[in-house]
Structure 1
């Protein structure tokens, strides 16, 4: 009896917490509509119990910044769960194209013992000494057939690619603009895009792609591939990745860190002046590369900034590539970028972006601003808003170039 009486307060506490949660969920269910309907209150309430506990702002006890950084990075690596056997780069140049003010090399290198990728390397003319370098990370956009080609100039482009670049980048290939301004630029393909894209011939069901593509134009074939092959198979791809015991974003982050290894193998590159930039999925990739790799000295994130809290109700409908199970318990999206603070970071937001709410953008800005202020370097973080849809306009590109020149030159 004494043992039961001592255990009773604990039981009552647990029952009270459960009832409180139940009442809260039941009350909210009638008030909020969302992408997941009546399940939103349950998931929102659960998420609120497990806020990002390894955020630099979550614990006033983080007196040692480097200890926090080491602890948080180790946890993130565990969550990303991709640790393939490494392999020598064994890089090779596949082709060389002379362009106005720079040379474009198509290169290939090992990402690990299981993967290779191709990338464009842009080297400015007349370099007298090692130059600053930028890793330009391509977007998603539902355009899987190409990767690096979406922001790097190529010859004989199909009309569908020309239109795509016009819509997202106002017709300008920003990687080439960086090369013209004296940066060595690396533009790698990542898993599921370009040289690493899904092969329809090896699918159990390619949705009739081969037959439909036979009499189609080049642009029509590419559109068929994007919409009827790669797009629909994202779900099967992610399920298989999870079944294999890893995460899609873990593979992407590892691939992008090897891009730094490749740049460091090039004599044209100053190892102390490497930055990264990307739009949309490229912005997410830039967030993780900047946060995880201390060799990155500055970062630019375009049109991919929000918090998990502001995605729960309406905006958690992105590509499968961005989701990491249980990450929200430890690190929010802006917390990932903060892992490299107080290194300089520019975040560019689009006010008309239908993929993120303004409130989410502002919440991410506030969190990062607080981190940089706490680290006594508020001038090294900047968030800018543009009254445009999801894109990287020429004005945004110019602002990004100025940022990179300020911190890398």
Structure 2
């Protein structure tokens, strides 16, 4: 009789990702993109709600020396209104834009505030600044992007900031309730993120959109690029790996908790993480990972990068894909990394 210790490795060996580009029987790349996206859509377990009016409500704008800050509340689904922050550079526009995705970090009192300085709520400022000090060289990434001429939209994911805080130990119960309802927590977040891209694309002040994120936000960024043609470019910091190489003893993927925000039941029977990201090919994408990141094995990162390079190469678009492993760095988005991303955005947007 098999035990969990023997069953799990046996099931892992059966993951062959048969619908990946180059393995799939679909040989036309445009047809493959449509097929692969449909397969991801199927496994979100959340119905499409693209016709729900956004009905945005804007707060009182506040001006800095180089950009305007305002709160915006909108409907990403028909079930809930979501509050976010919108930064707009001074000038006539339209401007390049960034849909900015916050991380997980098991810290739920702040979401959008992890990346944009909370001018509207001084009670969250200390928590937000401490997070920026820990992961972002003391910077607020969204404010830096706005100073460099980008419109920035950042919204709370379910459970963070204005939509929380949820306790870390409550996540499994939340995910289980979604599964009991025939839906998925990860699917809800994916749907909302794609809808946010559509909202940003519809603003007159915006001309082209990049998706940018750190950690879970990086996962959200390349996932949104796969699901939405509104995303013209993507920068993903510290979240790319092969699934099988990540599933090693002690990894967060095997613990439940935060993984439920990135777990689409059944999808790995067909596509690996880089296969999903490759649905966005040959649009420009930039992946940055730390060589000492404890959440991802070096083997997993290299495996994913090789898969991605093969896809872009097949489209004769190698120059549109940039993959980097930063020596000596862990799970962080430091000032030099931020500067590289912003310079890259300027070159592609």
What TM bracket, shorter-length normalisation? over 0.9
- Map 1:144-183 onto structure 2 (within 5 A): 144-155=108-119, 156=122, 157-183=124-150
Q: Distance in 2 between matches of 1:150 and 1:75?
A: 32
Q: CA deviation at 1:57?
A: 2.4
Q: For the Cα contact (< 8 Å) 1:306–1:364, is it kept in 2?
A: yes
1:377 aligns with 2:320: no
1:259 lines up with 2:196 in the alignment: yes
After superposition, give the CA deviation of every residue in 1:243-277 in whole Å (9 maximum; x if it has no partner). Answer: 1111111111111111122213321011xx11100
1:119 aligns with 2:84: yes
Give, in whole Å, the separation in 1 of the partners of 2:81 and 2:194.
13
Number of aligned residue pairs? 339
Matched, 1:402 2:347: no
Following superposition, the deviation at residue 160 of structure 1 comes to 3.0
Matches of 2:111 and 2:127, distance apart in 1? 14
Aligned to 1:323: 263
Instruction: Describe the superposition over 1:3-38 as per-residue Cα deviations: whole angstroms up to 9, x where unpaired.
Output: xxxxxxxxxxxxxxxxxxx9xx8xxxxxxxxxxxx7
Q: Which residue of 1 aligns with 2:28?
A: 64
How much does 1:63 deviate? 2.4
Q: TM-score, normalised by structure 2?
A: 0.93
Q: TM-score, normalised by structure 1?
A: 0.80
Residue matched to 1:203: none
Structure 1 vs Structure 2 CA RMSD: 1.6
**Cα distance change, pair 40–332 in 1 and its aligned pair in 2 (3 A):** farther
Task: Return the index of the structure with the highest Cα Rg.
Answer: 1
Secondary structure, aligned partner of 1:390: coil
Equivalence for 2:8 = 43
Matches within 5 A, 1:8-407: 39-59=4-24, 61-83=25-47, 85=49, 86-127=51-92, 129-155=93-119, 156=122, 157-198=124-165, 230-270=167-207, 273-314=208-249, 315=251, 316=253, 317=255, 318-386=258-326, 387-407=328-348
Q: Counterpart of 1:82 in 2: which secondary structure? A: coil
Structure 2: 5+ residue runs without aligned partners?
none
Does the aligned pair in 1 maintain the 2:33–2:279 contact within 8 Å? yes
Query: How far apart, in 2, do the equivalents of 1:184 and 1:148 lie?
Result: 15
Q: Tell me, which stretches of 5 or more residues in structure 1 are unaligned? A: 1-21, 26-37, 199-228
Contact 1:84 1:114 in 2 (8 A): no
Q: Is the 8 A contact 2:198 2:230 kept in 1?
A: no
Match of 1:19 in 2: none
